[in-house]
Amino acid sequence: MPLDIAIKPLRQLLERGSCPAGSEALNRMLPGLAHPCANGNNWVISQRLLLARAQLNSDSELVAALLATDEALCDAWCTIMAARCREAGTLADPQVLIRLVSQLDGAAAWVAARLEQQKTATIQPTPFVSLERQLLGASAEQNQVSPSLTRILAAASRMRQWQEQPLAAIDKVKEDGSRPDINWCKGRLIQRPGHKAIEFQYVLSGEGSRPLPTKLHHLGDKNQSLLVLEWVLANPWAYLLALILYEQNVWQVESSGGLLLELPPGQSPQNPSEVQVLVAGDEGDELLCGHLGEFIGKILSSLNMDIFPAGVTEIEFNAGLAQVIGQLLHLKVWRYVEGLSGEQGYYQIHPDFSDACFGRKGQPSFHRYARSLRQAIRSQAKQWRSDRRSLGRTHASARNASVA
């Protein structure tokens, strides 16, 4: 079966988060690299592919690396790289060859095997010229393609190892958000804040499945709370931020440490560029650990989750979170409390929304099915504080040693 046929669904997998299963080429290539969906109809993007993408220059290079796990294509490209290595070995500067071998990483062994097999390897076009022009912009024997081909083969060598470690099947997202234990599960990806839902619902949407409620003042208090709660549950980022402050409130009541989200001076509470996170110990002493975007990254990492697509910058992520925070304040899910003289203002969960979390509609999603997510929020806050304290002690010891 021609490998060219796999290019379109692989691009779909990387751009949308999933692609249809059923193709013989994909079913041979994707185990260990993508999650099968629970009903077997789709392949779902994985953290492994996000990691590989971060080490390449484009989606096209990642598609090429996926295809290079095919033995015939891999052999053809390794033959070209073997000839490049032979050329580099004739140069006066030995560092050229050393750098090339280092960049090939695990694929260096493949290339070395080709060198052994072909003592006088020459650079010739491969049988995959059409595919190469689609993905690399030129055929693989062209000199300008060599840096890209080096990265691709290095990525393919890692993927070959992953293919031997199949990933677990992943369930379809519950769009109403009523089952956080299903939605916030190991291997699940969540789109960056503000991005609309993808075609196949196996990735948590960055924009949610319900529009922002409007004209709430025409409804009674109970109906207002119910409508807002439904929106929060159906919007993954709103739910996570609401749950963080819900857990903050529970933690505060227990008087055994705590979490504080402060707003640095000069920022708008409705559109903060960065929210500071402080974590208190059992004695109530607070330690500034970092900002909200960092904290969320730690929570997701502890759950073996990640943000899709790869390459979202810190500024972009914080801007997306700011938009969600503005919505939460508007709907009275969060509230902003002005600091006293000389103190910074901070965020808390709104009392009305907190009450709704204990109601019949909110209780399952904020209690019964949210245990692992709430545990991740608290455990990561404690670990972050511990890490910061250890780092502080290390720096203090280094300063003392320097003075001595």
- Indicate if the pLDDT at residue 400 is higher than 80: no
Q: How much is the average pLDDT of 80-88? A: 90
What was the pLDDT predicted at 305?
A: 95
pTM (two decimals): 0.88
Model pLDDT for residues 162-187, shown as the tens digit of each residue: 999 999 999 999 999 999 999 999 99
CA 64, chain centre distance (Å): 22
Residue of higher predicted confidence among 312 and 140? 140
pLDDT for residue 401 is more than 60: no
The answer to whether 300 touches 293, Cβ cutoff 8 Å, is no
pLDDT value, residue 67: 97
Nearest Cα residue to 77 out of 118, 114, 52: 114
Average pLDDT score over the chain? 90
List, for residues 30-77, the tens digit of each pLDDT value. Answer: 999 999 998 888 999 999 999 999 999 999 999 999 999 999 999 999
pLDDT in tens, 324-350: 999 999 999 999 999 877 789 999 999
Report whether 197 contacts 308 (CB < 8 A). no
Q: What is the mean pLDDT of residues 112-120?
A: 81
Higher pLDDT, 400 or 190: 190
Assess whether pLDDT exceeds 90 at residue 404: no
- Greater pLDDT, 117 or 366: 366
Mean pLDDT of 265-289: 92
Inter-residue contact 159 to 173 (CB < 8 Å):
no
Is residue 145 very low, low, confident or very high in pLDDT (cuts 50, 70, 90)? very high
Quick one: CA torsion of 169, 174, 175, 177, rounded to 10 degrees?
-130
The secondary structure of 74-96 as a DSSP string is HHHHHHHHHHHHHHHHTSS-THH
List Cα–Cα distances, 124 to 179, 221, 369, in angstroms: 56, 74, 59
Using the predicted structure, report yes or no on whether residue 395 has a pLDDT greater than 70.
no
- Return the H-helix or E-strand segment holding 183: helix 180-183
**Amino acid of residue 62:** L
Where do the DSSP E strands lie in 128-230?
189-191
Query: What is the pLDDT, as a whole number, of residue 362?
Result: 93
Q: What pLDDT, on a 0 to 100 scale, did the predictor assign at position 221?
A: 65
Structure-model confidence comparison of residues 51 and 283, the more confident one: 51
Q: Is the pLDDT of residue 152 over 80?
A: yes
Q: Of all residues in the chain, what percent carry a pLDDT higher than 70?
A: 94
Is the pLDDT reported for residue 105 higher than 70? Answer: yes
pLDDT at 24: 87
Predicted confidence at residue 201, as pLDDT, reads 83
- Stated as kind and residue range, the H or E segment containing 260 is strand 258-263
Res 88: pLDDT: 86
What tens digit of pLDDT does each residue of 186-236 get?
999 999 998 776 656 899 988 888 888 877 766 666 678 888 999 999 999
Q: What is the pLDDT of residue 31?
A: 96
Is residue 403 predicted with pLDDT exceeding 60? Answer: no
| pLDDT at res. 196 | 72
Nearest CA to 347 out of 268, 256, 236, 402 is that of: 268
Q: Which residue has the higher pLDDT, 391 or 274?
A: 274
Q: What is the average pLDDT across 367-390?
A: 95
To which H or E segment does residue 280 belong? strand 276-280
